[in-house]
Structure 1
Amino acid sequence: MPAALLYCADLLRPRRPDEHFAAEAALAAGLGATVALIDHDALTGGDTARAVARVPANLGTAWYRGWMARADRYAELHRALAARGVRLATGPEQYRAAHELPGWHGTFAALTPASRWIPLGQGEFPAADALAGLAGALPGGPGMVKDFVKSRKDEPEAFFVEDLADVAALRRTAECFIGRQGPDLAGGLVVRAFEDFVGIGGRAAEARVWWVRGEPVVVGPHPDHPEALVEPDLMGVTEAVAALGCPFVTTDLAQRADGTWRVVEAGDGQVSDFPRGTDPEPLIRALIGRPLPHPIHRLADEGPRPSA
């Protein structure tokens, strides 16, 4: 197992981890991991030589733990590190498969809302007939739009569609979403069937599960609802994670109104965030090959428990 972790450097203090990751990086170092720093701004700007300049040569195998990067930038990071004798434990194709919905949706199709998608370039909008084709392949009723990685779920006009059969309304929502994403649009447009989930304060209460080598090592709330304590049913999810074949992934689960637990999103664990109050030690121990006291960690504090 790799015993090195690569964190994003602080923009103003490049010899230190970004404040968002500082506590986790300190924990990793305290557990015996080698910690090195990546310049994320240089990475996103395409200057991979500068991005990896502070990573020691011949470090061996490592995990990245930092801000999101486009799949093509991650592939460039992988190549730049390989040239320094550092191998990322998650390969570029594995990263894309876990990070982008088209990569993981087929494996999780029975566990997640039905979805269709279309690749788009920057500033490109889908034609009305293409949108109609996406919507027509989904169950009738309400839906939502997102890109291959992110949604704007706090902005209904850029997220929710009352009736997917209303192609004009779908187009308005899609154009609003694409316009607001701007240069951050990832991959293209996804149209998903809407499912009614149990929530807190008007939003679905999600659990985030962290998987390392196919094992669920941390189960906690989603960062959007750090106060929620939910206990998801992982039936079928373990098999799907194994089938995806990626070494470090997350799954976000929510309970549908009928009581069924559904996978809302999957993601690459390297760029997935921890909510406040969740102890990352079991995850770090799993990543660096230190024994875990328990196979699954859950928050001990009580919180709202949504039920069907």
Structure 2
Amino acid sequence: MPVLYCRDAFNPRRVDEHFALEAREVRACGGAVGLIDHDALLGGDAQRAVARVPAGLGRSWYRGWMIPVDRYAALAEALDRRGVELLVTPERYRTAHELPGWYATFADITPASVWRPAEPGAMVAADDLAALAESLPPGAGIVKDYVKSRKHEWEQACFIPDLADTVRLTRVVRRFVELQEEFLAGGIVLRAFEAFSRLESVAAEVRVWWLDGEPRLLTPHPDSPLGRGLVPDLEHIGPAVRRLGCRFVTTDVALRTDGQWRVVEVGDGQVSDLHRSSSRAQLAALLVSSQDSRQADV
């Protein structure tokens, strides 16, 4: 299968440095590589973004930086005009990429969550946040948008010690919105906090790569300082992935302190990052050798 990568901003004939090794492995496996101008796509010029993609390339994967769902739809349309079809449709991309799309399918195995749409920069009223939080179990929580959290600003823009403390809740959510700026995706999400086991001071978290409903690759979470992790129990997670109906997804799973493996995040595999210690060759071989399974995308 061909793979479309983001091009280097300074050398449009090359793959972005972050994905260059993976692209070389794709070529080594016999796969074709196309280049997309990610900046042009985010700027609203999808036609220019795909100008270097060979016409008639056929069904292809995308592998690169995250794309807002509306821009992904524009990308799919522009590629279609060049005889290129993304293996992940815009509808399936939204389902896996944004929490409201996947949450119901994983509700029993992921922290309780509630959300509301919000525009970038919009300050949600304290009363609205309090009403939203009332739907969650009492105790601590976190705030994120439909795609990302700001866990590296844990105290000021992520963790809420008590969801019933409206003053603290409002302060943390507003700081989160301020820091996200124009990159706020979809809206505000509040999630119940769950305590996870830790290995060498970091959460025992594993990224599982699923293709056509089967776990094909286990890697540490990209933020982990560790080059290896635990092997998760996926028996109760696999059925949910298959019900989701998306071809290529990742699940970030963490070991809760009571010994249960929980799904922390779901993502579209095309825009999921690899840990620095993980094999680019393994992922490349997985993508290139994947079958043209059309029924999974309808």
Report the TM-score, using the length of structure 1 for normalisation: 0.91
Structure 2 residue aligned with 1:211: 210
Partner in structure 1 of residue 69 of structure 2:
71
Question: Matched residues in 2 for 1:32 and 1:57: separation?
Answer: 19
**2:260 is equivalent to residue 260 of structure 1:** yes
User: Alpha carbon RMSD of aligned pairs, Å?
Assistant: 1.2
**More helix per residue: 1 or 2?**
2
Match of 1:294 in 2: none
Q: Is the 8 A contact 2:120 2:177 kept in 1?
A: no
**Offset from partner CA, 1:85-108 (integer Å, 9 cap, x none):** 100000001001100111111101
Partner residue, 2:187: 188
- 1:290, 1:264 → 2: CA distance? 26
SS in structure 2 of the partner of residue 154 of structure 1 = helix
Q: 1:243 to 1:181 in 2, by over 3 A?
A: same
Q: 1:137 to 1:37 in 2, by over 3 A?
A: same
Is it true that 1:270 corresponds to 2:267 in the alignment?
A: no
Partner of 1:175: 174
- Percent identity, aligned pairs only, is 56
Partner of 2:296: none
For 1:23 and 1:175, locate their aligned partners in 2 and report how far apart those are by CA, in whole Å.
39
Q: Is the CA contact 1:217–1:282 (under 8 Å) kept in the aligned structure 2?
A: no
Deviations 1:15-72 (A, max 9, x none): 0001110000000011011101000100111111110000011110000000001000
1:290 to partner: Cα distance: 6.2
Q: Report the CA distance between 1:283 and its aligned residue.
A: 2.6
How far apart are residue 226 of structure 1 and its match?
4.6
Query: Corresponding residue for 1:296?
Result: none
C-alpha distance in 2 between matches for 1:43 and 1:165: 41
Structure 2 residue runs without a partner (length 5+): 292-298
Q: What does residue range 25-104 of structure 1 map to in structure 2 within 5 Å?
A: 25-104=23-102
CA contact (8 A) 2:37 2:48 kept: yes
Tell me which residue corresponds to 2:147.
149
Determine if the alignment matches structure 1 residue 232 to structure 2 residue 232.
yes
Q: 1:205 deviation in Å? A: 2.5
SS of match in other structure, 1:267: strand
Question: How far is 1:213 from its partner?
Answer: 1.0
What TM-score comes out, normalization by structure 2 length? 0.94
Q: Is the 1:251–1:264 Cα contact (8 Å) retained in structure 2?
A: yes
On the 8 A contact 1:220/1:230 being kept in 2, the answer is no
Task: State which drifts further: 62-71 or 193-202.
Answer: 193-202
Q: For 1:208, what is the secondary structure of its paired residue?
A: strand
In structure 2, C-alpha distance between the alignment counterparts of 1:54 and 1:187, rounded to whole Å: 30
1:46 partner SS: coil
Give, in whole Å, the separation in 1 of the partners of 2:44 and 2:204: 37
**Counterpart of 2:137 in 1: which secondary structure?**
coil
Provide structure 1 residue ranges, at least 5 long, that are not aligned to the other structure. 292-308
Q: Which residue does the alignment assign to 1:7?
A: 5
Matched residues in 2 for 1:202 and 1:77: separation? Answer: 41
Q: Which residue of 2 aligns with 1:244?
A: 244
Deviation at 1:203, TM superposition (A): 3.6
- 2 CA distance for matches of 1:185 and 1:290? 33
Quick one: distance in 2 between partners of 1:187 and 1:76? 17
> Which AA in structure 1 matches 2:118?
L
Task: Give the residue type in structure 2 aligned to 1:55.
Answer: V
Is the Cα contact below 8 Å between 1:210 and 1:283 reproduced in 2?
no
